[in-house]
Amino acid sequence: MHRKLLLLCAISLIYFTRNISPILASIAFSIIGYLATDYLIPKVSNSYVKIGLHGKDMSKPGRPLLPECIGSVSAVVYVFIMLFYIPFIFYTYLSSNNGNNHGETAILETNPQVAIFPHNKLAEYLSSLLCLQTTILLGVADDLFDLRWRHKFFLPAVAAIPLLMVYYVDFNVTYVLIPKFVMNWLNLRDSSVINLGFFYYVYMASMAIFCPNSINILAGVNGLEVGQSIVLALLALINDVLYLGMGIEATKSRHRFSAALIIPFLGVSLALYKWNRWPAKVFVGDTYCYFAGMVFAVVGILGHFSKTMLLLFIPQILNFIYSVPQLFHLVPCPRHRLPKFNENDGLMYPSMADLKTTKPKPIVLRVLKLLHTFKLIHLEYEEKTKEIIACSNMTLLNLILVWSGPLREDKLCERILLIQFSIGILSILLRHSLGSIMFGHDNLWDIH
Amino acid sequence: MHRKLLLLCAISLIYFTRNISPILASIAFSIIGYLATDYLIPKVSNSYVKIGLHGKDMSKPGRPLLPECIGSVSAVVYVFIMLFYIPFIFYTYLSSNNGNNHGETAILETNPQVAIFPHNKLAEYLSSLLCLQTTILLGVADDLFDLRWRHKFFLPAVAAIPLLMVYYVDFNVTYVLIPKFVMNWLNLRDSSVINLGFFYYVYMASMAIFCPNSINILAGVNGLEVGQSIVLALLALINDVLYLGMGIEATKSRHRFSAALIIPFLGVSLALYKWNRWPAKVFVGDTYCYFAGMVFAVVGILGHFSKTMLLLFIPQILNFIYSVPQLFHLVPCPRHRLPKFNENDGLMYPSMADLKTTKPKPIVLRVLKLLHTFKLIHLEYEEKTKEIIACSNMTLLNLILVWSGPLREDKLCERILLIQFSIGILSILLRHSLGSIMFGHDNLWDIH
């Protein structure tokens, strides 16, 4: 009943505010996205299980079977609501030109509308959707066929081609600002920027590879994949609101674009979170992780704040750096590194990598001991020989458990989300305070 | 070996002709698409079978199990090569502006390139790809979950939103030409056009629903889905070449757009045909049928020749009209209406619908007898009572078999493709000869 009421509110919001702001329409579409996702997930779950898309929840007593890849519902709903959204983003342009070029005068292709309508904005929006859809296709292929790393690693960069293309023709801003002290140090007083040229495109393509994969890697407890995406979306939105409220006109349109993409994303993600949070009734799958990561890459690239966006990904970056010794097999890496569930007390414990059968090199062992001194890893010793026989797996999840002791799954997830949010807020604050000192100015307050 | 050579040729073609014409690059991408699809199909077939995407070939001795939905490979390869193609379509614009806006002068967003670059063309291209990708997603969902008719029927129209949006802002030509004699008859001498306004958009959305479904319906023998798509592509290309060779400037750019989309489509389809033609090694699945149909809808809509495009679909339209009595259950409709395979002689016979258990109304029986007189249906009578007990299923496939007698599967497919090609060529000829008489002019020769 109150679902229908909410739907009615959303539709009225779209109708009555269509001339005012596309952001209000995006809130309405976000509500519709939430309702559609929340309605569809229980409807389609059985069909997913039937075609073999299911997995065991290892951190529950009895390891119940749950439908997998349900995040693809969120992703597809997002694409469909964003298609319906297109006319409303450009409503003011469409309605103001409405009617002046119908009928016989419009026989030739030359059309006054072509000049007035912001085709570059439309191309930006379409390229974003295209990039996200390509990512979804890639995710679906991975969910269905379990693609190999070397096959799927570069594909997100291909998905980003339309994005980079639009970036090239619309902006082609390929310089980066250099902090004042570095300029002084490098004797670059005449210029405060370095033009990276082609390499800036390589950097953006790398971002399109990094964001989707980093969300996919920081996973393993109920609600974490969606939870971190929601936190990231909120942080990006806070940054957008800062610019929309206090920023100068030149930056406003980019952050309006960013908000227009992120608000509906929040809607479909919250609905997924409702079903995926502890105790999970569904799993999200790779499709959602890739899709969510790409939303942030798209927004960062076309919103011209890819570096600020990367600041919000600090926990993911730390998780990756922390994982490197195991990813590169300096330390033995078991197939699964999820925290271990203890059925007796219902808590999660750090999972351990066995260092007995394949022994790391002495130098690695020494580094492990050092990390242990700083409480960055948990080590197990043989009682007699005092030899290291196991270390906790190097993921952020296990590290939290090393720090805090065993936790229930939902508390563990909450703690990581809280860390992500705190670091994110701090980064935004530092970026606009320290940033303006280091670079001599900040684009939130002024532009040179 | 000669694959690598061909690939090298394609890459050289792209490189050396990048400044000349995007059509030459599209031929190169078509070759790459052919090679990639042909390479991938045998590689991925096992994975498809493993996750349950397989079906029995009912028209072969022993009913062998074949991988299903392999057409999705063609569709996905198409999307990826079209992403790589983007920079080359706009190469002349990109290279001419290259370098004049790098560095410090480009700090603000205002950029001379924005004014010069044809953003409306880019938006057209991106919206086409977006529409095709949405269709592919829909097809994948249908292949995986066997969606119900009422769920999937309107979805292609949603996929067409970006297309209609671009059509609205770039052209918004919603009138249709009326033949002279109708004008005289309606006393509409002052105007040769009727403005359909909003209904023209309904018409275009209907086309986006019709084309994908019509290819999906005319199916059932090896190679027919891909075969008809290839014939349609060739016909559309012949029409494009006519305009590019003899047309006026205003129509040329649209047909260049059409050719740029269709040539790579031919590449990925020919590779699929190689594997799907009799005796088939793979099945194509719904994804390809929807995708192929949508290619023609997209090209017809944004190329402004949707009515000519519909002429090429006459066999599909006839197949649909002929099927109506069974689709609306005026005549009993069995679950499968494919022609029947006879293991003894290896030939296909018309499959029959049983009229004994559920008897049609007397008026329907009389119509069936009339159709029988014109050899448009095959009827079976009870020997004693002379009652009708069965009629051939109403599909174009069965009709051909009624006309020609039993045929081997490949001959049946060839015959339909030949019919499609002949009707198509005739339509194009009539459209440009009779058309110019009926409408007073033809846009191939002149424009009013």
Residue B298: both structure tokens together: 């997209």
**A85 in Cβ contact with A263 (< 8 Å):** no
Torsion of CA B188, B191, B196, B201, to 10 degrees: 150
> For residue B174, which phi and psi values (nearest 5 degrees)?
-120, 20
Chain B residues touching A140 at Cβ < 8 A: 137, 140
pLDDT in tens, A161-195: 999 988 888 778 888 877 777 777 777 666 677 88
User: What is the pLDDT, as a whole number, of residue A148?
Assistant: 85
Nearest chain B residue to A191, by CA: B104
Mean pLDDT on B259-282: 97
User: What is the pLDDT, as a whole number, of residue B46?
Assistant: 94
Looking at chain A, the whole-number percentage of residues with pLDDT higher than 70 is 93
Closest to B35 (Cα-Cα) out of B99, B81, B88, B104: B81
Distance CA A180, CA A447 (A): 16
* Any A CB within 8 A of B104 CB: yes
User: What is the pLDDT, as a whole number, of residue B96?
Assistant: 61
Based on the fold, state whether residues B396 and B264 are members of the same structural domain: no
Mean pLDDT on B297-318: 93
Residue B101: both structure tokens together: 């806006």
Q: Is residue A448 part of a domain?
A: no
Per the listing, tokens 């009138």 go with: B175
Q: Which of residues 245-304 of A touch B (CB under 8 A)?
A: 250
Mean pLDDT on B415-432: 94
**A7 in Cβ contact with A35 (< 8 Å):** yes
Q: Is residue A318 part of a domain?
A: no
Per the listing, tokens 């674009």 go with: A257
Mean pLDDT on A231-241: 97
Q: Which of A37-51, A322-336, B65-79 has the lowest mean pLDDT?
A: A322-336
Q: Is residue A328 part of a domain?
A: no
Closest to B232 (Cα-Cα) out of B26, B425, B412, B433: B425
Chain A residues touching B136 at Cβ < 8 A: 137
Mean pLDDT on B394-398: 95
**A124 in Cβ contact with A257 (< 8 Å):** yes
Does residue B349 have a pLDDT over 60? yes
Chain A residues touching B80 at Cβ < 8 A: 134, 158
Distance CA A211, CA A208 (A): 6
Based on the fold, state whether residues B367 and B252 are members of the same structural domain: no
Q: Which ipTM value was assigned to this complex?
A: 0.89
Mean pLDDT on B398-409: 95
Q: Is residue A57 part of a domain?
A: yes
Does residue A272 have a pLDDT over 90? yes
Q: Which of A115-124, A261-270, A307-316, B95-104 has the lowest mean pLDDT?
A: B95-104
Q: Which of A168-182, A343-357, B243-257 has the lowest mean pLDDT?
A: A168-182
Mean pLDDT on B218-225: 94
pLDDT confidence band for B38 (50 / 70 / 90): very high
Averaged pLDDT of chain A: 88
Does residue A229 have a pLDDT over 90? yes
* Any B CB within 8 A of A154 CB: no
Q: Is residue B320 part of a domain?
A: no
Based on the fold, state whether residues A159 and A198 are members of the same structural domain: yes
Contact B122 A169 (CB under 8 A): yes
Based on the fold, state whether residues A75 and A179 are members of the same structural domain: yes
Based on the fold, state whether residues B357 and B273 are members of the same structural domain: no
**Residues for chain B: how many in total?**
448
CB within 8 A of B155, min separation 6: which ones?
B138
Mean pLDDT on A301-314: 93
CA angle A129, A133, A138 (to 5 degrees): 150
How close A230 gets to chain B, by Cα (Å)? 25
Does residue B118 have a pLDDT over 60? yes
Parallel/antiparallel/unpaired status of strands A388-392 and B65-67: unpaired
Based on the fold, state whether residues B295 and B374 are members of the same structural domain: no
Of B94, B130, B191, the CB nearest to A126: B130
Does residue A290 have a pLDDT over 90? yes
CB within 8 A of A53, min separation 6: which ones?
A67, A68, A69, A143, A285
Residue type, B108: L
Q: Is residue A444 part of a domain?
A: no
User: What is the pLDDT, as a whole number, of residue A116?
Assistant: 73
User: What is the pLDDT, as a whole number, of residue A206?
Assistant: 94
Does residue A115 have a pLDDT over 70? no
- This prediction has a pTM of 0.90
Q: Is residue B124 part of a domain?
A: yes
Q: Is residue B330 part of a domain?
A: no
Per the listing, tokens 């010794």 go with: A325
Distance CA B362, CA B394 (A): 18
Q: Is B388 left (phi over 0), alpha (psi -120 to 50) or beta?
A: beta
* Any B CB within 8 A of A119 CB: yes
Based on the fold, state whether residues A347 and A260 are members of the same structural domain: no
Mean pLDDT on A264-274: 98
Chain B residues touching A443 at Cβ < 8 A: none
Collapsing DSSP states into helix, strand and coil, what is residue A337? Answer: coil
Does residue B110 have a pLDDT over 60? no
Q: Which of residues 30-49 of B touch A (CB under 8 A)?
A: 44, 47
Distance CA A136, CA A127 (A): 14
User: What is the pLDDT, as a whole number, of residue B191?
Assistant: 65
Q: Which of residues 176-235 of A touch B (CB under 8 A)?
A: 191, 193, 195, 197
User: What is the pLDDT, as a whole number, of residue A106?
Assistant: 38
Parallel/antiparallel/unpaired status of strands A340-342 and A347-349: antiparallel
Based on the fold, state whether residues A151 and A60 are members of the same structural domain: yes
User: What is the pLDDT, as a whole number, of residue A441?
Assistant: 67
**End-to-end CA gap in chain B:** 54
Does residue A97 have a pLDDT over 60? no
User: What is the pLDDT, as a whole number, of residue A21?
Assistant: 86
Does residue B382 have a pLDDT over 50? yes
Which residue segment(s) compose the domain that B158 sits in?
2-312+410-439
Residue A256: both structure tokens together: 């309006």
Domain count, chain B: 2
Averaged pLDDT of chain B: 88
Contact A126 B197 (CB under 8 A): no
Distance CA A71, CA A22 (A): 26
Mean pLDDT on B231-255: 91
Distance CA B31, CA B115 (A): 34
Q: Outline where DSSP puts E strands in B265-311.
A: none
Closest to B125 (Cα-Cα) out of B74, B81, B163: B163
CB within 8 A of B1, min separation 6: which ones?
none
pLDDT in tens, A62-71: 999 999 999 9
Three state DSSP letters for A346-395: CEEECCEEECCCCCCCHHHHHHHHHHHHCCCCCEEECCCCCCEEEEECCC
For A325, counting Cβ atoms within 10 Å of its Cβ (0-12 exposed, 13-18 middle, 19+ buried), the class is buried
Based on the fold, state whether residues B206 and B346 are members of the same structural domain: no
Based on the fold, state whether residues B303 and B414 are members of the same structural domain: yes
Based on the fold, state whether residues B229 and B369 are members of the same structural domain: no
Does residue A443 have a pLDDT over 90? no
Report the largest interatomic distance among the alpha carbons of chain A, rounded to a whole angstrom. Answer: 95
Q: Which of A95-109, B309-323, B417-431 has the lowest mean pLDDT?
A: A95-109
* Any B CB within 8 A of A165 CB: yes
pLDDT in tens, B206-219: 999 999 999 998 99
pLDDT in tens, A49-86: 999 999 999 999 999 999 999 999 999 999 999 999 99
Does residue A412 have a pLDDT over 90? yes
Mean pLDDT on A296-309: 93
User: What is the pLDDT, as a whole number, of residue B100?
Assistant: 40
Does residue A297 have a pLDDT over 90? yes
Of A76, A114, A159, the CB nearest to B137: A76
Q: At what angle do helices B161-170 and A119-145 cross, to 10 degrees?
A: 170
Based on the fold, state whether residues A387 and A291 are members of the same structural domain: no
Contact A104 B140 (CB under 8 A): no
Does residue B1 have a pLDDT over 80? no
User: What is the pLDDT, as a whole number, of residue B169?
Assistant: 82
Is the peptide bond between B156 and the residue preceding it cis, with omega within 30 degrees of 0? no
User: What is the pLDDT, as a whole number, of residue A17?
Assistant: 87
Q: How many Cβ pairs closer than 8 A exist between chain A and B?
A: 174
